Amino acid sequence: MAPHRKTLCALLDDSGKTVGRAEIIQQFPALIWHSGFDGRCDYFNQTWLEFTGRTLAQELGDGWAEGVHPDDLSDCLKTYREAFEARQPFVMEYRLRYHDGSYRWITDHGAPHYAIDGCFCGYIGSCYDITLQKESELSQHCFQTELEQQVAQCSSDLQKSHDLLNSLSQQVPGGIYQFQMFPDGRYTVPYASQSMLELFEIPAEAIQHDATCLFDLILPDDLPGLMDSIQTSAASLAPWHREFRGGVPSKGVRWFQADSRPRLQPDDSVLWCGFVTDITERKELERQLAEAQRLEYIGQLAAGVAHEVRNPLNAILTVTEALFREEGVEGNHTLTPYIEHIRSQVVRLARLMNDLLNLGRRQQEDQLLPLALAAFCRETVQLWQESSQAGHRQLVLEIDPAMEKVLARADRDRLQQVLFNLLDNAVQHSPVESCVRLLLDACRSSSRQEQLRLRVVDQGTGIAPDLLERVFDPFFTTRRGGTGLGLVLVKQFTEQMGGAVQICNNCPEPGCTVTLQLQPALEENLS
């Protein structure tokens, strides 16, 4: 050991003060060690020995390694040996056994040193106790870990709440939303459930910070009233309720109902939380109910009027016929045109009275019987051709061969009147030398049920798009001299037989098509 100690002392000797400098190293607060050119330690200062509670003889060579924590020893020796072979400085941290038996964390800085002549003499190192730092780091790490766990738990709880909200929102009949109005006039939708986004077919990011594109969907006629109702609710903080129409890209115009409650926010904005539902079907049912009630009232009133007028009309018609047959009148070119005019107008009024009586008459269930539809169509067409004023217009009947033995559930007389009205209307609106077609086949309804279909197709000018919704209104007509009851009776009679009627233009072909859907007769009702 003497040569190695001497080499270290020579390194420390400066101007003959070897003993003094060695004493400084011995008492230096850091743990100082030295290894020779063979890598074995040959020196430890007093601070090191006091720290470990071991003797110098116990620490020399590789004895110091006995104090390294078993979990750290392998990495510690590997770092030291790799640096020693490469003659490179190193820094490493490991746990070293303290004199009380506990382990303390130290950081070990080692570097090669050389003699004045440049010869490699070994390594010298200094160690510092970093236990407090490590405990602080450990505490910080534990705190960070705990915080991360809490954040993760909160995130998990938040995600569960979000998933639950989304799940619940999918079960309610509509969409859940938050709507916010700011003092500067901005509108946003901070939250919108997937159901609401699907109702309006709009992405969440499009309305989250600016709800302008949502208002763009509202019909212009409904928008001013809707905005006024929002302002009123914001001013009074009263619950908000509104029904409005919106144009949905793939569905067209739809009716919506929105309900929410407002709350004033710390930034003076108003936040509404509520839900919105599509009420288009309900609105249509309400319309149909109102129409049915109106038709019932009109029918009852009309039937009463028709009953009172019918008898005087018959008397006028009888007198007119008798007058026409009076001697001196027949062949009178002065009187005959007037009498003919009176008779034609009385007949027209009588037909109107019959329509009014039919309008107030309800369909009896026992009048709906199995009807061989193909044979019925042939018979009806023949009767119509014999009695109508078709002029130079051709009527073509086309029957799907599969319909030859099909039975419909219908009232024979009313269905015949329906076809008469439709054929008369088609001929009156078709140009001369044109063709009117009556088609019979089958189709499937929106509920996927088999339906029997009758279509009357003309080649006229069609119906203006803004008038299509009004063609079934009582007393509405575009034809001069028309009563406006023909299509009303068609719709009423068809629906009373459990069917449906539609009318549309033949775009791009001229004219329009009226479609009747009838119920097939059930097998158990067939004789």
Domain boundary among 245, 278, 311: 278
Same domain, 347 and 398: no
Same domain, 373 and 521: yes
Q: Is residue 347 part of a domain?
A: yes
Same domain, 268 and 291: no
pLDDT in tens, the chain (527 residues): 334 444 454 444 444 444 566 677 887 889 999 999 899 999 999 999 999 999 999 999 999 999 999 999 999 999 999 999 999 999 999 999 999 999 999 999 999 988 888 889 999 999 999 999 888 888 888 888 888 888 888 777 777 766 665 665 555 567 888 999 999 999 999 988 888 888 899 998 889 899 999 999 999 999 999 999 999 999 999 999 999 999 998 889 999 999 999 999 999 999 999 889 899 999 888 887 877 777 666 666 666 666 666 667 677 767 776 766 665 555 566 666 766 667 666 666 666 666 666 665 555 555 788 999 999 999 988 888 876 665 567 888 999 999 998 899 888 888 988 888 888 888 888 887 788 899 999 887 655 577 899 999 998 888 888 777 777 777 667 666 556 677 878 888 888 888 889 899 988 888 899 999 998 986 433 33
Domain boundary among 336, 359, 382: 359
239 preceded by a cis bond (ω within 30 of 0): no
Burial class (CB in 10 A: 0-12, 13-18, 19+), 95: buried
Expressed as residue numbers, the domain containing 79 is 2-129
Q: Is residue 147 part of a domain?
A: no
Q: Is residue 166 part of a domain?
A: no
* Domain CATH for 384: 3.30.565.10
The pLDDT, as a whole number, for residue 301 is 67
Same domain, 375 and 498: yes
- What is d(CA 49, CA 452) in angstroms, rounded to the nearest whole number? 108
Strand-by-strand arrangement of the 435-444 sheet: 394-399, 435-444, 450-457, 512-518, 500-505
Same domain, 412 and 509: yes
* Domain CATH for 348: 1.10.287
Same domain, 330 and 391: no
Q: Is residue 152 part of a domain?
A: no
Contact 273, 261 (CB under 8 A): yes
Same domain, 27 and 69: yes
The pLDDT, as a whole number, for residue 348 is 62
Same domain, 333 and 194: no
* Domain CATH for 98: 3.30.450.20
**Which residues lie closer than 8 Å to 99 by C-beta, 6 or more apart?**
50, 51, 52, 53
Same domain, 199 and 223: yes
Q: Is residue 425 part of a domain?
A: yes
Q: Is residue 156 part of a domain?
A: no
Same domain, 330 and 438: no
For 125, the enclosing helix (H) or strand (E) is strand 120-129
Same domain, 410 and 520: yes
Q: Is residue 136 part of a domain?
A: no
Domain boundary among 215, 243, 278: 278
Domain count for the chain: 4
**Which residues lie closer than 8 Å to 230 by C-beta, 6 or more apart?**
181, 240
Q: Is residue 63 part of a domain?
A: yes
The pLDDT, as a whole number, for residue 525 is 37
- What is d(CA 236, CA 232) in angstroms, rounded to the nearest whole number? 6
Same domain, 384 and 507: yes
